[in-house]
Amino acid sequence: MDLSRFLLILGLSCASASYAESMSEPVGNYNNGCIFNSHSLKVSTDTYQVAHPRKQRYFGDESMVRFIERYSAAVKKNGVGNVLVGDVSTRYGGRLNTGHASHQNGLDADIEFYLDRINPKDLDKPHANILVTRDKKTTNSLFNRKYYDLIMLAAKDPLVERIFVSPAIKVKMCEMTADENMHKYLHKIRPWFGHTEHFHVRLRCPAHAADCEKQTPIPEMNTIAEEKEEALSWFLPPPTDVAKNTQKKPKPELPARCERLAHR
């Protein structure tokens, strides 16, 4: 083998090894996992900013960082405003001390309901708007087409598996959507209590992440009317014949790879 060919092969091998070492990898599931080689969001860019950066919850899988970049550019291009990113994950993922059961493997991110740019020195102050009424059954006067678009643009991204919003917001979005062709995007938007000041984006497991656990598929629905009916069902009283389970569930064991990461 001549020297030039040897050096080319060596260079390619080193580049491949370097890429493999820097490639992020989500492990486990969204509620019980970790992340290897996480990537960091920038705190403030032309299209997005990170809320509460002192908490250092702006790490995620590389696909999450690329999603935020791509999504925030689309939000700006469509005249919606600035994207304010809430919690993603910590550097190594795993359980957060406060606020979430999920956000553990770098594939979850909160997007705050706030559309204006913020002076970077004020990013640790609260800014998000509450978009539902006090009884949480309907949206309030702050919810408008721009917030609809903020959520819908995220739902249109092919890497987004599902989005969690307040049931009241899901109902309102169904009422604002006349085109049945938009159903495939509304279907990704799942009603979940809370989520009145932000919505929660969840990406699918990357193809290379063999130890990332996929979620159960969303129940099938075929029309916008069915989507609205399901969201409204969240306000119905629970069945009287179902006993409440007041026992606290024990925390599941971390995946073995995450245990090793936690004790490194």
Secondary structure (H, E, C), 19-66: HHHHCCEEEEECCEEEEECCEECCCECCCEEECCHHHCCCEECHHHHH
Residue 225 located in a structural domain: yes
Residue 241 located in a structural domain: no
Check if the beta carbon of residue 164 is closer than 8 Å to that of residue 72: no
Tens digit of pLDDT for each residue in 210-240? 999 999 999 999 999 999 999 999 999 877 6
In degrees and rounded to multiples of 5, residue 162 shows phi and psi of -160, 165
Mean pLDDT of the chain: 88
- Other CB atoms closer than 10 Å to residue 34's CB: what's the count? 27
Please provide the DSSP assignment of 98-125 as one string: SS-S---SS-EEEEES--S---GGGTTS
Residue 10 located in a structural domain: no
β-sheet bridge partners, residue 112? 198
Q: Which domain holds residue 196?
A: 26-235
Give how many domains the chain has, as a whole number. 1
Q: What is the DSSP letter of 245?
A: -
Confidence band, pLDDT 50/70/90 cuts, at residue 252: confident
Sign of dihedral through CA atoms 57, 63, 64, 68?
Answer: positive
pLDDT of 4 above 50: no
Residue 79 located in a structural domain: yes
pLDDT the model gives residue 32: 92
The tally of CA atoms less than 13 A away on the side-chain side of residue 25 is 14
Residue 42 located in a structural domain: yes
CATH number at residue 182: 3.30.1380.10
Tens digit of pLDDT for each residue in 22-68? 789 999 998 999 999 999 999 999 999 999 999 999 999 999 999 99
Alpha carbon distance 134, 36 (integer Å)? 41
Residue 226 neighbours by CB under 8 Å, 6+ apart: none
Residue 113 located in a structural domain: yes
Residue 14 located in a structural domain: no
Residue 76 located in a structural domain: yes
